[in-house]
Each structure stands twice: as structure tokens, then as C-alpha cells.
């Protein structure tokens, strides 16, 4: 099985030992505590599940700036984005050696993790600007990821953590949320060796379905892991429960039995385009995938990134040998009226735009909102029904 990044085995930071978990939970109630940002809570969940192996906790400012600038921490360890716990107010934890991190996304702000504080540092305007520019390729506050990153505060609290729960993800998505540990174990149980991972923050239409099947055929994969983001998105994106239902319906009806796992992870979308694509590949290797699909404008938003920047970054910025996972580079996929099947547009050079069934996201949302199913060549009718019901419920 493929090894985790930079380690022989996964290093999940969740406290699995029941006695230690009980003792830490009791201790945490008496520790100085702080409610962290949603982005920091997502980082803690990913650290807890082993996805960010071999990180031991939140980065200090020097490591965060180095990761943003060079994709390596100060000791040379590969990591593609800063993993920070940024706060506005640290007055309640100044001088504390051990603190409790509280969850902003669950009522009552329960303790999410316990941290051994190594440093509390102020991030300068210059450091914040550098990290923003390198990770997001823009400092435009209209970019949702830039806005979220720069709205957390400027005090960075760093140090190793021990994670006590997985926020709302385990309770709200019990059938879907999985740690990297759990996915690796299931891949082993199924006897899969070559595994394709597919990232999604949207429902899957025909083009997505066929793209996964193309990738599986091209790589001779034993199985597919559909791995959906369950955290916060930008306004207007379809909520996770609706996506989950639509994807499950598609897999039940249109994939062979035992060929696809439907899973999800607890993290807020960064919309960081190319750099987020590298992060996605990083933690897909950690969860046991050997191949990862990256299509046009992967993890992008607006017009901030070129169509294939999320693919070329693996040639231009990722250090050689840093990742073992292989990237399956996809073009835009669409239904060909000439061939009566979904194809990658680059594989149909004799086609004009009129030969494809192409619908914009805006047009599809408009149709669904009006109770009109997109053509079956674009979306499976059973999937369209779930989405139509959702959009109708908004009226």
C-alpha cells in the first residue's frame, strides 16, 4: 500500500485510548481555553484524522511562511500550505503552557483539542500578505478564501495538539465522514491496491461520473474513493447533505457493486486553486489513494486561476519526489452528440462547441430551481430529482 507522506505510517492526533481521552477531557475543563476559527477547527479535525501526517500540530509563523513560500517547513519537510491557529485575542491564554481549543461550529463550544503551547506570535502585515499571495495567488478580499484567511486574527498560537473529537462532522455525517485511518483500513479490507480518489464539493453529474470511470479504466484501478468536502463553503454552494444524497444515488444506480467508496472529510474549502490541489493530493496519499483526479480549475473560484494551473503546479512547484501519488490530469468532460457518450474535450479535436452538450452552472441552477431536469446526457434523472427538490425547497 502507498506510504503516507514523509512517514512510514499514519500519525493521527486523535486520542484513541479511552483512559487518556477521559483524563484529557477532564483536564481540559480546567485549562485556559479559547474558541478558535472555523478554519483552525478544520485543521484540528484533519490533524486528528491523520490526513496531515506527519504534522504534530499547528505551525509557528516561520514554518507557516516557509510552507507558503517554498512548500517546505523550515526543517525541509514538504507541506503545501500554512496550518495555523490564528486568533484575534490571546489575553486569556498568555503565559499558559497548555490550553484547550474550543469548537466554534458546535453549540456550547466544546473542547476540540488540547495544545501544548510552544509559541504565541504576532503575524506581521508583510508575513500575512506573503502567505496570502503565495497560497491564493491574489490578495483580493473578494476572493472567499483570502477573506476567510485574513479574517481570523493576527496572533498565531503554535504547538502539538491532541484531538478529542471530530467537531460536527462525525455526528452530522455518520455514514460519510471518515478519517484517513478509516479509509486506509477499508481499502485494505477490500483488497484494493490501485485506488483513484475524486474530490468534490458539488453534486456529481454525468461528466463527473464518466471522468471517474475513465480514470479507473486508464489506471486499471481496483476501486474509487469519492471524497467529498463536508465543511464550510461559499454562499450559494449546495449543502453537504444534498450532495451526499445525490452522489449516493448515482453510485447505487450507475457504478458496479463494491467499486466505489463514498466518504467525506471535515475541512473548510480554501478555494486556493493550484495550491489547494497540492494539499488535496497530499492528504489523498495519506488516506491510501495511489491516483488523484485533477480537472479544469480544480478548487478554483471566479477567474483567479488558469484552467490547468492546478495541474502544472505539480511540474513547476512541487519538489521532485515529495509525493508518491500520481495525478490523473483531466480535461473538461462533456457529452458528445456525435459519439453519443461523455468524452474529454481534448480527445475530440474534430468537434465544435455545438457538438457537445454544455450547460453553465448558472443555467443548471436556474433549470433545477424552475423544476426542469437538465437533459439526461448532462445529469442522471435520479440525481436531478434530488437537486430539483432541494432548489424547490428554497422558494
Q: Could you give the residue numbers annotated as active site?
A: 201-202
Q: Cell numbers 455526528 label which residue?
A: 171
E-strand ranges in 103-202 read 111-116, 119-122, 155-163, 195-200
Q: Cell numbers 481499502 label which residue?
A: 187
Q: How far apart are the first and last CA of the chain?
A: 48
Q: How far is residue 257 from each of residues 177, 191, 193, 199, 222, measured CA to CA in Å?
A: 21, 14, 17, 20, 12
Q: How far is residue 15 from each of residues 21, 73, 162, 259, measured CA to CA in Å?
A: 6, 25, 6, 32
Name the nearest CA neighbour of 290 among 218, 193, 208, 216. Answer: 193
Say how many C-beta atoms besides its own lie within 10 A of residue 150's C-beta: 18
**Contact assessment for residue 346 and residue 331, using Cβ atoms and an 8 Å cutoff:** yes
**Contact assessment for residue 345 and residue 351, using Cβ atoms and an 8 Å cutoff:** yes
Name the nearest CA neighbour of 225 among 278, 179, 170. Answer: 179
Amino acid at each position: 500500500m502507498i506510504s503516507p507522506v514523509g512517514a512510514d505510517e499514519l500519525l493521527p492526533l486523535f486520542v484513541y485510548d479511552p483512559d487518556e481521552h477521559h483524563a484529557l477531557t477532564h483536564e481540559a475543563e480546567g485549562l485556559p481555553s479559547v474558541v478558535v476559527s472555523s478554519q483552525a477547527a478544520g485543521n484540528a479535525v484533519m490533524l486528528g484524522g491523520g490526513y496531515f501526517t506527519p504534522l504534530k500540530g499547528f505551525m509557528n509563523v516561520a514554518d507557516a511562511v516557509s510552507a507558503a513560500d517554498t512548500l517546505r517547513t523550515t526543517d525541509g519537510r514538504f507541506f503545501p500550505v500554512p496550518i495555523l491557529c490564528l486568533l484575534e485575542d490571546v489575553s486569556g491564554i498568555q503565559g499558559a503552557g497548555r490550553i484547550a481549543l474550543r469548537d466554534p461550529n458546535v453549540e456550547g463550544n466544546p473542547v476540540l483539542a488540547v495544545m501544548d503551547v510552544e509559541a504565541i506570535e504576532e503575524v506581521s502585515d508583510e508575513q500575512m500578505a506573503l502567505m496570502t499571495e503565495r497560497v491564493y495567488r491574489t490578495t483580493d478580499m473578494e476572493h472567499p478564501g483570502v477573506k476567510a484567511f485574513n479574517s481570523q486574527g493576527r496572533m498565531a498560537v503554535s504547538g502539538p495538539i491532541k484531538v478529542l473529537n471530530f467537531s460536527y462532522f462525525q455526528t452530522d455525517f455518520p455514514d460519510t465522514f471518515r478519517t484517513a485511518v478509516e479509509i486506509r483500513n477499508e481499502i485494505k479490507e477490500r483488497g484494493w491496491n490501485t485506488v483513484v480518489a475524486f474530490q468534490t464539493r458539488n453534486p456529481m453529474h454525468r461528466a463527473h461520473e464518466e471522468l471517474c470511470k475513465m480514470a479507473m479504466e486508464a489506471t486499471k484501478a481496483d476501486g474509487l474513493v469519492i471524497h467529498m468536502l463536508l465543511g464550510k463553503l461559499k454562499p450559494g454552494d449546495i449543502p453537504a447533505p444534498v450532495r451526499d444524497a445525490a452522489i449516493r444515488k448515482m453510485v447505487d444506480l450507475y457504478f458496479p457493486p463494491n467499486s466505489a467508496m463514498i466518504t467525506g472529510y471535515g475541512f473548510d474549502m480554501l478555494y486556493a486553486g493550484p495550491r489547494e490541489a497540492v494539499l488535496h493530493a497530499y492528504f489523498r496519499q495519506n488516506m491510501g489513494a495511489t491516483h488523484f483526479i485533477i480537472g479544469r480549475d480544480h478548487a478554483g473560484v471566479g477567474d483567479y486561476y488558469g484552467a490547468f494551473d492546478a495541474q502544472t503546479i505539480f511540474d513547476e512547484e512541487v519538489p521532485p519526489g515529495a509525493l508518491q501519488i500520481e495525478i490523473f490530469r483531466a480535461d473538461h468532460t462533456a457529452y458528445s452528440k456525435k459519439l453519443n457518450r461523455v468524452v474529454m474535450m481534448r480527445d475530440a479535436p474534430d468537434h465544435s462547441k455545438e457538438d457537445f452538450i454544455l450547460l453553465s452552472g448558472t443555467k443548471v441552477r436556474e433549470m433545477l430551481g424552475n423544476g426542469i431536469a437538465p437533459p439526461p446526457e448532462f445529469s442522471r434523472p435520479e440525481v436531478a430529482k434530488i437537486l430539483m427538490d432541494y432548489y424547490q425547497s428554497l422558494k
